[in-house]
Amino acid sequence: MKADSMETKLKIAEAAIALFTSQGFKGTTVRQISKKAGVNLALISYHFGGKKGLLEELITSFFEGYIRRIEIIYHTSNSATVKGSFIELVEALLIYQQRNLPLARFVYREMTLDSTLVRELMSTYLVKEKYFIQTLFEKGMKKKEFRRQPVDFLTIQFKDMMMLPFLHPLYLSEVYQITAETETFIKPYKKWMVNWFDKCVCQSERRNPLLSAVQKPLFGSIQEKWGS
Amino acid sequence: MKADSMETKLKIAEAAIALFTSQGFKGTTVRQISKKAGVNLALISYHFGGKKGLLEELITSFFEGYIRRIEIIYHTSNSATVKGSFIELVEALLIYQQRNLPLARFVYREMTLDSTLVRELMSTYLVKEKYFIQTLFEKGMKKKEFRRQPVDFLTIQFKDMMMLPFLHPLYLSEVYQITAETETFIKPYKKWMVNWFDKCVCQSERRNPLLSAVQKPLFGSIQEKWGS
DNA sequence: TATTTGTCGAGCGATTCTTAAAGGTTTCTG
DNA sequence: CAGAAACCTTTAAGAATCGCTCGACAAATA
């Protein structure tokens, strides 16, 4: 393959990502892509085997990189604590998603649809992702580092928190004037997640009996124990 | 308006919601809608002023009901604590979204796009939503009921947790075999959110100095104080 | 030189949403 | 009850756009 050809293929991919992100896959035409990429219409079919092929190649490449980063940390993390591994994971995934922000956004949106492609992607990539994260949580619980609690919800919430800023960047910027694209976002958000780990995941410190005695009557009707 | 007409309008709306939810707005044709609704093609344009009008009417009606429920609780909650008001809110919104699950799912997905419609909806409904929730959090902090922390992230995470099960029901069912449609989901998920409030939002109990002395060295490099 | 590879313009066939015109039905009014 | 009016539905066709392919041409390769 010529270098020129590789370049046009990249130009097509970039234009497609930008358009898919803001307009959705179905809302984007191949003509728009070819125009934005400054490339002939027929080249999209030539390089990607059509619009659908372009979509699949983009999504697959995103998930490949995503899963690879999880696997690497899962197998080679040398943190003393499980929480340490998680923090490595958080950092790696935040950076990866930020670097591929528009791609991530449109992939996540597409995954809320109901197609055979989506089901396939879920059973290959997301089931794998679930396995790694859930196993990490269970490891932390066995080591008494994490508090015992429903591991399903925990995994889901973790994944969701990792996804949030990249699925809703327009919401963040329009309503909160927060932009997920800059470096100034990653740091505080990572901090936020670490705080969440300390408060919600890790083993809580022994309670002060006086304080809890004061608070209990107020919330008693709702604040029940887990696992009932 | 005749009863017959109202009925066809409803049939169109229901069919549209189902199809939009699984295929997306752009991925659905008016023919599919008319066929599924058992209604003539042109009636969609007649009743809703076209496919786009149908979309806007569905989304608007969803947000109207959504905001109304927030406002009611905001203005009439008689809970002794702010946390109590929040729990009322959680319950009301979970039920509302569950009752309109397919509609909610497709509305949330559509809101991740980048159109003038989405921007308008954000500036009318989501800004309002942010105001109510954020004010509640600040109220809780002033009363020293909630711990002081960045209120932006808190509001966002709250909203996100409220949205999660309804934006990703396919993910939940495919990967976790959890279905957000049944009553058996609402209760544990509500419990989960209450637990999150206790751990992450409410004022934490005084720490046991011995335990924190043991743990600090391990996480010290990352676990910094807020507001730095 | 022969062959593969990349690019281009033109256009095909299918499908999109919408609308115009007309037919049918119900409701209101005298 | 008759007839006008408003409302609902259908048929049919409109105009635009969709993704994709074909054949020609240029350029690099062997």
A154-167 pLDDT, tens digit per residue, is 999 999 999 999 99
A222, pLDDT greater than 50: no
pLDDT-above-90 percentage for chain A: 82
Tell me what pLDDT residue B227 has.
Answer: 31
What is the rounded distance in angstroms from the CA atom of residue B136 to the CA atom of residue B121?
Answer: 22
Distance CA B223, CA B207 (A): 15
pLDDT the model gives residue B27: 92
Predicted structure pTM score: 0.88
Low-confidence ranges of chain B (pLDDT < 50): 206-228
Q: Do B157 and A172 touch (CB under 8 A)?
A: no
At residue A217 the predicted structure's pLDDT band, cuts being 50, 70 and 90, is very low
Least confident of A174-178, A196-200, B6-10, B148-152: B6-10
How far is it, in rounded angstroms, from Cα B201 to Cα B195? 9
CB contact under 8 A, B150 and A218: no
Query: 3-class DSSP state for residue B49?
Result: coil
Q: Which of B27, B109, B194 is the closest to A112 by Cβ?
A: B109
Identify which of B86, B81, B98, B73 has the alpha carbon closest to the alpha carbon of residue B194: B86
Distance from the first to the final alpha carbon of chain A: 62
Mean pLDDT within A153-180: 95
Closest partner residue to B113 (CB to CB) among A24, A118, A226 is A24
Flag if B156 and A164 touch (Cβ within 8 Å).
yes
Mutate to test the interface with B, among A90, A130, A223 (most CBs of B within 10 A): A223
Q: Is A157 helix (H, G, I), strand (E, B) or coil?
A: helix
Mean pLDDT of A214-227: 34
**CA-based nearest residue in chain B for residue A187:** B222
Distance CA B91, CA B183 (A): 12
Best probe of the B interface among A79, A153, A210, by most B CBs < 10 A, is: A153
Once rounded to an integer, what is the mean pLDDT over residues A198-227?
Answer: 49
Least CA distance to B113: which residue of chain A?
A22
Summarised one tens digit per residue, pLDDT across range B48-88 is 888 999 999 999 999 999 999 999 999 999 899 999 999 99
Cβ–Cβ of B126/A171 closer than 8 Å? yes
Confidence at residue A2, expressed as pLDDT on a 0 to 100 scale: 61
- Summarised one tens digit per residue, pLDDT across range A34-73 is 999 999 999 999 999 999 999 999 999 999 999 999 999 9
Average pLDDT, rounded, for chain A = 88
Quick check: A10 pLDDT over 60? yes
Residue A81, number of CB atoms within 10 A of its CB? 16
Whether residue B167 and residue A130 make contact (CB cut-off 8 A), yes or no, is: no
pLDDT at A203 over 90: no
Please give the pLDDT value at position A226. 33
pLDDT of residue B5: 64
Task: Using the structure, give the distance in angstroms from the CA atom of B7 to the C1' atom of D3, rounded to a whole number.
Answer: 28
Classify B132 as helix, strand or coil.
helix
- Give the mean model confidence (pLDDT) for residues A138-153: 95
Q: Tokens for B216?
A: 């600090």
The gap between A49 CA and C1 C1' (Å) is 32
CA distance B83 to B145: 8
Instruction: Examine the pLDDT at A214 and tell me if it is beyond 80.
Output: no
pLDDT at A181: 87
Residue A169 scores a pLDDT above 50: yes
